Structure 1
Amino acid sequence: MTIERKAPTGILGFPVAPFTNEGNIDEKVLEKNINFLVEEGLTSIFVACGAGEFQSINQKEYQKMVEIAVSTVNGKVPVYTGVGGNLSQALEQTELSAKLGADGYLVLPPYLIEGEQEGIFNYLKTVVNSTDLNAILYQRDNCIASLETVTKLAEYPQVVGVKDGAGNMELNMELIQNLGDRLEWVNGMPLAEVTMPAFYHIGFNSYSSAISNYIPHVSRLFFNALQNGDQQLLNDLYQDVIFPINNIRKQRKGYAVSLIKAGMDIVGLPVTDVVRPPVVPVEKEHYQQLEKILKGVMDKYPNDKKVTL
């Protein structure tokens, strides 16, 4: 089989890890979450990544989530997994991802240690070279690769993209000016719609959308408006949707994950608010604030595509 060396573009789907009230992975709900994203037009599925509480799932749960994603998507869009943590764990996950039929993986930061560029390069190179799957590098926290490091990694054909979760626009400009269309560029900032215009205009064609898990039609409206230069619609979406939700997200650490589950619950998707420590569930006051925002969103921006779950 010939692997297409191209990362997915557009709006990338990051399903959550739905837990039962007993704290187990709810396999049926994960399947519905993924189906919902695919039917709503997201261009790929990234399973067991940050939104999927990568840090809290064990290897058996990880395998089950990947199996469900691959079988549910069934080739409709690419499936990427999250791999990372300590190096031996990351390598187990890359091999498992290849065995289970994933198309690639997003390389998450190594555990805790902030290494020199030589160490970051060796970590990423080892992960990338462990299989023939496509790899997207994730610029975040203790794993920010410099221009020199990314340039060296781009020599490996498996490396197809860079996702930025740090927001260093000077570095992003250097990377794009030097590497251009050799890689795809993904905005991975928290609530990426907030910063997407800045990223889009320097060459980022993709982003991960937290709100797409519950209002994907708004994600589509936003991205279409950005691509078409519809500034009035963009302004309206910022005032009605993006800034209000982002203001709630910033109230508590961990809301980048738990607020997604709250939004899914509010719109009627079958997800509980159960999360694993250190993530905390959304407080009642913030849940009610999000509920009010989403009611206004559905009234003003009704979904023109009805999805049956």
Structure 2
Amino acid sequence: MRLDGLLSFPLTPFTADLADVAWPALRDHLDRQLAADPAALFVACGTGEFTALAPAEYARVVATAVAAADGRVPVFAGVGGGPQTARAFAAAAADAGADGALLLPPYLVESTPAGLVEHVRWVAAATDLPLIVYQRATAVLDPAATVALLDLPTVLGVKDGRGDVDAMLRIVTAVRHSGHPRAAEFLFLNGLPTAELSAAAYGAIGVPAYSSAVLTFVPEVATAFHRAVSTSDGATAGALLSAFYLPFAELRATTPGYAVALVKAGARLVGQPVGGVRPPLVDPPPEHVDRLAAIVAAGREAVRGA
């Protein structure tokens, strides 16, 4: 399975009281994402507030995404928690029709890279779903551990959320030159918050595909930037970085949890009824929403100028 192009990580809309998923809004949001022609949908992951979903909600979110995609693009579902919990979510994702799973970091505990491989092995043994391992927080790989993942046939690749380009270069090089039969097909994805800021650096080390939270609320900006990077249009990429991405990242960095909450506020700004975030995340105050509105306007203007 190849995942070329932008990767969509849809939001999970909630009702005004946060008591339930806003199901019609979810389907509308998914349809908007699919209209932007992503390479895949990754639902109920970080941006989709995986940790805030009840098991029944999770299963229906995944099933809704599968129905919306209707085979046009693969649907990956977030799975995580401890090893047994991750197995249970993987089973639910498979029952809902998902094409694969993004294995989120183990809950709370830290271990060694070798220990992480065993965690992946434990989850992979219980499901036929293809897995992508999300490296961040308590899940940190090294070159030897990543090469060991090649021996797990259902593990497709690694999504990096750490941002250590030197470490990723070592990992990519170790895998590609390992001599393993799966070395050339193993996937590496850039999964940093506002991954566009690091797209050029990651592309240079052989990691061109990236997730885009911006795709969820201003797809015209996200797709224009991706096109510029893919065609080496430095002028357009620079204009969008200056007008939108750098100010957006600066605002995102002001408050923990804004990698989700600010994105959801952006979706509300452009008319998507996605509701607020569930605790412990916090919605942005009016002054931050006003700054975000100005950033969105500047990004759209930059697209028109390009």
Same fold (TM over 0.5): yes
- The total of aligned residue pairs comes to 298
1:281 corresponds to: 283
Report if the CA contact (8 A) 1:194-1:243 is conserved: yes
Q: Which residue of 2 aligns with 1:215?
A: 218
Q: Which amino acid aligns with 1:110?
A: P
SS at match of 1:195: helix
Shift of 1:118: 3.0
Could you say what secondary structure the match of 1:185 adopts?
Answer: strand
CA drift of 1:7 comes to 4.2
Residue 76 (structure 2) aligned to one of 77, 80, 88: 80
Q: Which of structure 1's runs of 4+ aligned residues deviate more than 4 A?
A: none
Alignment of 1:186 with 2:189, yes or no, is yes
Aligned match of 1:269: 272
2:16 and 2:304 map into 1 onto residues whose CA distance is: 31
3-state secondary structure, aligned to 1:12: strand
Q: 2:14 aligns with which of 6, 10, 19?
A: 19
Does residue 9 in structure 1 map to residue 4 in structure 2?
Answer: yes
Q: Which amino acid aligns with 1:236?
A: A
Gap change, CA 1:256 and 1:61, over 3 Å in 2: same
Secondary structure class of the residue paired with 2:188: strand
Write out per-residue CA displacement over residues 197-248 of structure 1, whole angstroms, 9 at most, x where no aligned residue.
1001111121110110011121111111112111111110111010011111
Q: Does 1:259 align with 2:254?
A: no
Distance change (3 Å), C-alpha of 1:7 and 1:130: farther
| 1:106 match | 102
Opposite residue 254 of structure 2, the aligned amino acid is Q
Shift in Å, 1:302: 4.4
Partner Cα separation in structure 2 for residue 229 and residue 98 of structure 1: 39
Residue of 127, 136, 139 corresponding to 1:140:
136
Cα distance in 1, alignment partners of residues 194 and 302 from structure 2: 21
Tell me, yes or no, if structure 1 residue 296 matches structure 2 residue 291.
no
The equivalent residue for 2:253 is: 250
> Identity of paired residues, percent?
34
Pick the aligned partner of 1:96 from 86, 92, 99.
Answer: 92
Deviation at 1:147, TM superposition (A): 1.2
Tell me if structure 1 keeps the 8 A contact 2:240–2:299: no
**8 Å contact 1:84–1:110 — kept in the other structure?**
yes
- Residue 9 of structure 1, CA deviation: 2.3
Q: Distance in 1 between matches of 2:41 and 2:102?
A: 11
| RMSD (Å), alpha carbons | 1.5
The normalised TM-score by structure 1 is: 0.93
Instruction: Please identify, of 48-57 and 226-235, the stretch whose mean Cα deviation from structure 2 is larger.
Output: 226-235
Q: CA deviation at 1:120?
A: 1.2
Aligned to 1:3: none
TM-score (norm 2): 0.94
- TM-superposed deviation, 1:102: 0.7
Listed one character per residue, the Cα deviations across residues 28-82 of structure 1 (whole Å, up to 9, x for unaligned) are 1111111111111111110100001111111111111111111111111000000
Q: Secondary structure at the match of 2:107?
A: coil
Task: Quote the residue 2:241 is aligned against.
Answer: 238
Partners of 2:84 and 2:152 in 1: how far apart? 21
DSSP 3-state at the match of 2:235: helix
Selected match of 1:229 from 225, 228, 232: 232
Q: Verify the 8 A CA contact 1:82 1:107 in the aligned structure 2.
A: yes
Taking a change above 3 Å as real, the CA distance of residues 278 and 303 of structure 1, as seen in their structure-2 partners, is: farther
CA distance, structure 1, for counterparts of residue 304 and residue 8 of structure 2: 21
1:43 and 2:39 aligned: yes
* Paired letter, 2:30: I
Listed as ranges, the gaps of 5+ residues in structure 2 are 177-183
Report the 3-state secondary structure (helix = DSSP H, G, I; strand = E; otherwise coil) of the residue aligned with 1:160. Answer: strand
Amino acid at match of 1:160: L
| Structure 2 residue aligned with 1:307 | none
**Which sections of structure 1, spanning at least 5 residues, go unmatched?**
1-5, 305-309
